[in-house]
Amino acid sequence: MTASEFEEFARETFSRKFGVPLNKARRPRFPKEFDLVSDDGQIDGDANFYVVVGGTRIPPAKWSVIAKHV
């Protein structure tokens, strides 16, 4: 799975879970584009994709990055 495929998978999955369409969008006061934003602005988030080490494990250094984003 590529990063863009993962982003689309996450968008479709969370759209179904929350029952609203989610799209890429910019939010006021934030200098970036978010991957998962509802039309009413109540939901916003990012889909982060990390390549696994040897096809089996998430790189240990990525856990701190994941925790920071949560």
- Each residue's pLDDT tens digit, 20-50: 999 999 888 888 899 999 999 899 888 888 7
| Strand order through the sheet with 22-26 | 22-26, 33-38, 44-45
CA nearest neighbour of 10 among 32, 43, 35, 27? 35
| Sequence ranges of the domains in the chain | 3-69
Q: Say whether pLDDT at 53 is over 80.
A: no
Q: What is the pLDDT of residues 9-27, one digit of tens each?
A: 999 999 999 999 999 998 8
Tokens coding 17: 């879970």
